[in-house]
Amino acid sequence: MKEEEVKTAVRKGYARVATQGSSCGCSPVSSCCGNTSLARKVSEGIGYSEEELGAVPDGSNLGLGCGNPVALASLKEGETVLDLGSGAGFDCFLAANKVGKKGRVIGVDMTPEMIDKARTNARKGKYTNVEFRLGEIETLPVADGTVDVIISNCVINLSPDKRQVFQEAYRVLKPGGHLIIATPNAANIRKRVFVPFGHNIWSPLAEWYHDGDPVFRGHVREPIVSELHQLLHWNQFQVVKTYGRNFIGRDSQALAFLPKPLVHAVAIGSDYLLRFFPTLCSDIHVIGRKAGGK
């Protein structure tokens, strides 16, 4: 499948999410879409506080993330932030609250319906320091060396050309700027466990999609930790930190069909395993820094 066909499929999927709330691309919990309270619960499960969830316009959190990059970004007043694949604007609004009126947040998304939704949300929330630009993260509509911090939540996994995304991120960052990416992990312990039963394919360097199934669960190709490090190194970023997060939390909706005590046991067991095998986490946060600056 050609890159453009992949993008068309991804764009179509997210246009549907934006207009109907009918499909959930990135969250492990596919039933969250179109259901605000469930989207909220999912977001609590992946690290957003109640305060954060209450501080954004209604309709901006679609439950599509797989981490909380803003929480790791240590944003300061006056900074310029860029969100790659901004969706309905959720992380942009959180970032805007932190950088204040003197700061600026730019969201880039390739799905026109998402951009429309994000702009409507910005108007609803009376945000004057946020703008949304239609564009692809492989060719960012942003000038060189103008951004302090780049965040991205559950989007890099959807790009058929990840190397180009990192190259573009490097181009638009100021020297000393940071890139914080949250992405699902192809080597997630659940996927590894299912391989022998034929439920899933896991091969670190193989493409996940094939004819007839172009976009696996809405993901073009999830990376693994070492690939993310490789992508950072190739593009001259310093690797600052890598965090794993295990989505099998105590309130996991994905396991809601099981009795609660069993879900808790699974959560405790998988957290314990991740202490020994951190690269098998369900979602990865990686922080890179462009050399130079202060």
Q: Does 14 bind ligand SAM (CB under 6 A)?
A: yes
Q: Does 140 bind ligand SAM (CB under 6 A)?
A: no
Q: Does 114 bind ligand SAM (CB under 6 A)?
A: yes
Q: Does 85 bind ligand SAM (CB under 6 A)?
A: yes
Stretch that binds ligand SAM, among 51-59, 62-70, 94-102, 264-272 (CB under 6 A): 62-70
- State the DSSP code for 106: E
- Reported in sequence order, the residue ranges of the chain that DSSP labels E, i.e. its strands, are 80-84, 104-109, 130-134, 147-153, 173-184, 237-245, 283-290
- Distance between CA atoms of residues 112 and 93, nearest Å: 19
Q: Nearer Cβ to ligand SAM, position 114 or 130?
A: 114
Residues in the chain: 294
Q: Does 168 bind ligand SAM (CB under 6 A)?
A: no
Q: Choose which of 109, 168, 222, 227 interacts with ligand SAM (CB under 6 A).
A: 109
| In the complex, least distance from residue 26 CB atom to ligand SAM, rounded to whole angstroms | 3
| In the complex, least distance from residue 109 CB atom to ligand SAM, rounded to whole angstroms | 5
Binders of ligand SAM among residues 15 to 34 (CB under 6 A) are: 25-26
Stretch that binds ligand SAM, among 151-159, 183-191, 236-244, 260-268 (CB under 6 A): 151-159
| In the complex, least distance from residue 16 CB atom to ligand SAM, rounded to whole angstroms | 11
Task: Render 246-291 in DSSP notation, one character per residue.
Answer: -S--TT-STTTTS-HHHHHHHHHHHHHHHHH-GGG-SEEEEEEEES
Number of residues near ligand SAM (by CB under 6 A): 24
Q: Nearer Cβ to ligand SAM, position 86 or 246?
A: 86
| In the complex, least distance from residue 264 CB atom to ligand SAM, rounded to whole angstroms | 27
Place of tokens 């630009």: 133
Q: Does 47 bind ligand SAM (CB under 6 A)?
A: no
Closest CA to 281 of 231, 228, 239: 228
Phi-psi domain of 238 (left: phi exceeds 0; alpha: psi -120 through 50; beta: other): beta
Going by their DSSP bridges, the two strands 147-153 and 283-290 should be labelled as: unpaired
Q: Beta partners for 149? A: 81, 178
Q: Does 95 bind ligand SAM (CB under 6 A)?
A: no
Q: Nearer Cβ to ligand SAM, position 92 or 255?
A: 92
CB 64 within 8 A of CB 154: yes
CB atoms under 10 Å from CB of 208, counted, come to 19
Residue partners of 294: CB distance under 8 A and separation at least 6: 176
Q: Nearer Cβ to ligand SAM, position 33 or 263?
A: 33
Q: Does 270 bind ligand SAM (CB under 6 A)?
A: no
- Straight-line distance from the first to the last Cα atom of the chain, in angstroms, rounded to the nearest whole number: 44
Closest CA to 62 of 81, 85, 96: 85
Query: Which residues are near ligand SAM by CB under 6 A?
Result: 10, 14, 25-26, 62, 64-65, 85-87, 90-91, 109-111, 114, 136-138, 153-155, 158-159
